[in-house]
Amino acid sequence: MTESKACMEMAEQNLLHTYNRYPIVLEKGEGVYLYDTDGKKYLDFAAGIAVQSLGYGNRELNEAIKEQVDLLMHSSNLFYNVPIARAARRAVAASGMERVFFTNSGTEAIEGALKAARKYAFQKDGRRDHEIIAMEHSFHGRSLGALSVTGNAHYREPFEPLLPGIRFAVFNDLASVEALVNEKTCAILMETVQGEGGIYPAEPEFIRGVQAVCEKNDILLILDEIQCGMGRCGELFAWQYYGVKPDIMTCAKAIGCGVPAGAFFLNEKVASRSLVPGDHGTTYGGNPLVGAAVDKVFEIFEREKIPAHAKEMGAYLAEKLEGLAEEFPCITARRGMGLMQGLVLTVPVGEVVNRARDNGLLVITAGSDVLRLVPPLIIEKAHVDEMIEKLSRALRQVL
């Protein structure tokens, strides 16, 4: 039996079957390429689901992590540690937010954001029946709290009852948000650019309108930047493009570029009137190992101007995708911002993903009919050209 086959069998015999995995075993990465255990090379336009923004084998990042492994990996939040203090300083300065809490994942960042919003509202009026407005087709994670605000009934139903007081509005429909606002509303939560739901950027008038509704009613605006943030959409955070600013922001995925990390950020208004000692915590969150990685990620992003590069490459990618859509009538729309792009297909998107993989290209899906392109942010035009060529071939094979 081949090594890859043995691995797949071992995994299927022991791991809980919650994923239908693609039948390859990835072994190593280099730049924007991945290699499987059979030695096959793939151009990676998935980036571990928008995580590996610096690609693979970034020397500087890897060295920083390795040095910290030898020094101290974990110490708990009962003590201070230098790497996370530095990471927090960089994260706060880069975001323009005022406080940060580090988590181990995006889901946990959402949990923290929801708790901060509830506590803020509780401090204000003492009510214990606050409501949160979230969006249809949103995705915020799989824990019970994050699931409660995820706008996909199919994901939610088997796990009900979930959090009470969650109301769903229609993304990009301001009137639908306004219709749900009442004296109990404490927060409005949305992804700045919806990811899993099918790559839908917020309309500028919508997100600005939501912010105005929040300001008028002292409702907190929570923006989930877990997928669209960290430079992916051409700004460090996608809200910067719209000229809005959240009260609370969640971040994860690329913030650790491979090291499991997340964070929620707060402005001073919320930070000073919400979570206090005893209200929230984590054993691993923000440990020295993660701190070293996050600090280095922000340093590299700043020095190498990664968001600006993503903007430039995103424009090139969008142009090439438009060309592809002209050539292939099975592509009915292109949506996205920067290096977070989606193609709406009338042919089975899973088959296109499979043929692309055969051709040495990794892409993923979003929603039921969207091909999602979320490459490392360090790609160059030649990689876009190579992707287009491989994807064209895959599309021809499916037609």
Ligand X SMILES: *Cc1c(COP(=O)(O)O)cnc(C)c1O
**Which spans of this chain sit near ligand X (rule: CB under 6 A)?**
105-107, 110, 139-141, 191, 195-196, 224, 226-227, 252-253, 262
Angle at 379 between CA 339 and CA 302, to 5 degrees: 80
Position 314, amino acid: G
Residue 161 preceded by cis peptide, ω within 30: yes
**Tokens at residue 122, please?**
């509780």
Closest distance between ligand X and the C-beta of residue 210, in Å?
A: 16
Smaller CB distance to ligand X: residue 95 or 227?
A: 227
Rounded-to-integer distance, Cα 165 and Cα 188, Å? 12
* DSSP letter for each residue of 143-158: SHHHHHT-S-HHHHGG
Smaller CB distance to ligand X: residue 225 or 295?
A: 225
Q: Which of 24, 374, 387, 342 is nearest to 200 (CA)?
A: 342
Rounded-to-integer distance, Cα 288 and Cα 254, Å? 18
Closest distance between ligand X and the C-beta of residue 342, in Å?
A: 13
Smaller CB distance to ligand X: residue 190 or 331?
A: 190
Rounded-to-integer distance, Cα 51 and Cα 47, Å? 6
Smaller CB distance to ligand X: residue 91 or 398?
A: 91
Region for residue 333 given its phi and psi (left: phi exceeds 0; alpha: psi -120 to 50; beta: otherwise): beta
Smaller CB distance to ligand X: residue 262 or 336?
A: 262
Q: Can you tell me which residue has the tokens 């996370």? A: 84
Q: Which residues pair with 248 in a beta bridge?
A: 222, 266
* DSSP letter for each residue of 232-279: TTSSSSHHHHHT---SEEEE-GGGTTTS--EEEEE-HHHHTTS--TTS
| Contact by Cβ (8 Å): 51, 258 | yes
Smaller CB distance to ligand X: residue 211 or 227?
A: 227
Closest distance between ligand X and the C-beta of residue 98, in Å?
A: 22
Position 198, amino acid: G
Smaller CB distance to ligand X: residue 331 or 340?
A: 340
For 203, which DSSP code? P
Rounded-to-integer distance, Cα 271 and Cα 115, Å? 12
Could you give the C-alpha distances from 220 to 143, 173, 204, in angstroms and in order? Answer: 22, 18, 18
| Helix intervals (H) in the chain | 3-14, 47-50, 59-71, 82-95, 106-125, 144-148, 153-156, 174-178, 204-217, 238-242, 268-271, 288-303, 306-327, 349-358, 381-398
How large is the C-alpha radius of gyration of the chain? 21
Closest distance between ligand X and the C-beta of residue 227, in Å?
A: 3
Smaller CB distance to ligand X: residue 54 or 255?
A: 255
Smaller CB distance to ligand X: residue 105 or 274?
A: 105
Smaller CB distance to ligand X: residue 223 or 398?
A: 223
Closest distance between ligand X and the C-beta of residue 116, in Å?
A: 16
Closest distance between ligand X and the C-beta of residue 141, in Å?
A: 4
Closest distance between ligand X and the C-beta of residue 226, in Å?
A: 4
Closest distance between ligand X and the C-beta of residue 102, in Å?
A: 13
Neighbours of 4 (CB within 10 A): 17
Closest distance between ligand X and the C-beta of residue 52, in Å?
A: 14
Closest distance between ligand X and the C-beta of residue 334, in Å?
A: 20
Smaller CB distance to ligand X: residue 224 or 295?
A: 224
Q: Which residue is nearest to ligand X (CB)?
A: 106
Closest distance between ligand X and the C-beta of residue 339, in Å?
A: 14
Rounded-to-integer distance, Cα 179 and Cα 158, Å? 28
